[in-house]
Amino acid sequence: MSTVQNSKNSRVTSELFQKWVNASPRVSAFGDVIKDAAQAFLSQGIPTTKHEEWKYTNVAKLATTEFAFSAINNTLKKDDVKEMKVTADAVIVVVENGIINKEASSMEALPKGIHIGSIHDLAENAEVKKHFLQHADYKTEPFVALNTATFSDAVCILADANVEMETPIQVMMVNTCIEYNDYVPVRILVVADKNASIQVVETFDSFSHTNNSIFVNAVSEVVLAENAKVNYVKLQDDPINTTHINYHRVAMVRDSYQHLTTLSLGGGIIRNNLNIRLGDVNGTAYLNGLTVARFNQLVDHHTVVDHAMPHCYSNELYKNIIDDNAQGVFNGKIFVRKDAQKTNAFQSNKNLLLSDDASMNAKPQLEIFADDVKCSHGATTGQLDDEALFYLRARGIGEHAARALLNHAFAADVIEGIAHEGIKEKMLDLLNEKLK
């Protein structure tokens, strides 16, 4: 595979991706945007570590790997995905290799006012027309551009005004491709209309434990109308051969509330780009994140919280547990624009290094242009407290169990923030498994 490099070597593209983005759009209704995104990708390419935002996360090998699209989306049945359900009653949308598998999904009993389906079925819906492909910025984000130019299916979740749904909606991304290196573009649109309230869970898993590389390129756009409330959990438990690049954009207007928890527990390279825009007064945004990385995993959380208007609140809590040779990256940007007076913006990043070879790069960035605001940030990186470890052992708790208990204690408050009891319990169980 030959690659094309620009003079500064801050980006690379492969002929393969060039070919794909130049192919005719798979979702014709949005052809113009898709073609525009293709051009945006060709001019941006795949970033190298010379690119400031990609300094610690080397994804250049994506340009030299021979990927293929998998067109298979019908191997999974309901029974196959039962284990991965976040709660027994959850509405499930199974996305197999980037394409919705209706047969494996459980979308029958939707409450009135909740619409879930493929972009191919909902392209004419007014909300979809208004918001689909409109929020994630492909002009500055190369992987958003690539995703926008190459996705073949998308999950749309729409909540009408005043609809409150307590039951979780789970978008279950599953990879089943075993024959070749698989490129999986995934796309999700969530729109919560006025006063609507929903719980959404994204899960990433794989049935394909081979040596082949998997490249997941996921983009989620979440749009909240006035006073809407969205609780969102992203669970990333991909196999080690996966490079997972995830862009999550939340567009908020007045009085809306969003709570987002990202749990990165697996994968080879995971890069999360979270971009929350508080676009009108009185918005509330929580961003919680937890990494448990071992072996030679790399997990990179890049977050942007953009306070554009006054009287908004944001609170960010990120914790990373890094073991073995694994690497963690946290880059948290907070913008407080000139008009955003009376902003409250808080950020906390705590990291635990469990081995001498584990590493963590933490960079909080606050850019404040308003003068009447309350903002704080803090980042700490340390090791497990030896005194606490000894204390637990001196009470008869074995070393391994004592370590697990302390790691769990360190991490648990990130998950405790999840409002839905069932989801919270499931996530705490998963964390326990990971820390065993």
Partner 1 sequence: MLTIKDLKASVEEKQILNGLNFEVKPGEVHAIMGPNGSGKSTLASVLAGREEYEVTGGEVLFNGEDLLEMSPEDRARAGVFLAFQYPVEIPGVSNANFLKTAVNEVRKSKGLEALDSKQFLKLMQEKMKLVEMDKTMTQRSVNEGFSGGEKKRNEIFQMAMLEPSLAILDETDSGLDIDALRIVANGVNALRDGQRSFIVITHYQRLLDYIVPDFVHVLYKGRIVKSGTKELALELEEKGYDWIKEEVDATFNA
Judged by the rule CB under 8 A, the positions of this chain that interact with partner 1 are 385, 387-388, 390-399, 401-402, 405-406, 408-410, 412-413
Is the Cβ of residue 33 or residue 412 nearer to partner 1 in the bound state? 412
CB of 389 to partner 1, least distance (A): 9
Choose between 108 and 396: whose C-beta lies nearer to partner 1: 396
Going from the C-alpha of 426 to that of each of 88, 262, 401, 430, the distances in angstroms are 11, 14, 20, 6
């393969």: which residue's tokens? 16
Closest separation in Å from C-beta 349 to partner 1 = 16
> CA 118 → CA 37, 99, 110, 190, distances in Å?
21, 9, 15, 12
Comparison of 112 and 395: residue with beta carbon closer to partner 1 = 395
CB of 396 to partner 1, least distance (A): 4
Tokens 């990433």, located at residue: 204
Q: Half-sphere exposure (CA, 13 Å, Cβ side) for 384? A: 24
List residues bridging with 19 in a β-sheet.
none
Whole-angstrom distance, CA of residue 159 vs CA of residue 389 = 48
CB 355, min distance to partner 1, A: 18
Burial class (CB in 10 A: 0-12, 13-18, 19+), 106: middle
Residue 242, both tokens = 């996966």
Q: At closest approach, how far in Å is the CB of 317 from partner 1? A: 13
What are 115's strand-pairing partners?
A: 158
In 61-89, which positions are buried (b, 16+ CB within 10 angstroms) versus exposed (e)? ebbeeebebbebbeebeeebbeebbbbee
CB of 402 to partner 1, least distance (A): 8
| Segment (H or E) for 353 | strand 344-353
**CB closer to partner 1, 322 vs 415:** 415
CB of 170 to partner 1, least distance (A): 28
Give the shortest CB-385-to-partner 1 separation in angstroms. 7
Which is closer to partner 1, CB of 304 or CB of 412? Answer: 412
How, if at all, do strands 114-118 and 91-96 pair?
Answer: unpaired
Rg of the chain in Å (alpha carbons): 21
Q: Which is nearer to partner 1, 42 or 411 (CB)?
A: 411
- In the complex, the smallest distance separating the C-beta of residue 397 from partner 1, rounded to whole angstroms, is 5
Q: Closer CB to partner 1, residue 339 or residue 385?
A: 385
Minimum separation from the CB atom of position 229 to partner 1 (A): 28
**C-beta closer to partner 1: residue 254 or 408:** 408
| Beta carbons of 206 and 236 less than 8 angstroms apart | no
Instruction: Return the number of the residue (123 or 405) whose C-beta is nearest partner 1.
Output: 405
- 113 Cβ contact partners less than 8 Å away, ≥ 6 residues apart: 159, 160, 161, 162, 163, 196
State how far the Cα of 128 lies from the Cα of 159, in Å rounded to an integer. 11
Does residue 151 contact residue 188 with C-beta atoms inside 8 Å?
Answer: no
Q: CA-to-CA distance for 328 and 362, rounded, in angstroms? A: 8
Helix or strand holding residue 143 (H, E): helix 142-150
The least distance separating partner 1 from the CB of residue 287, rounded to whole angstroms, comes to 20
351 close to 362: Cβ distance less than 8 angstroms: yes
**Cβ closest to partner 1, residue 337 vs residue 408:** 408
> Residues 360, 328: contact at Cβ < 8 Å?
yes
SS3 assignment, position 435: helix
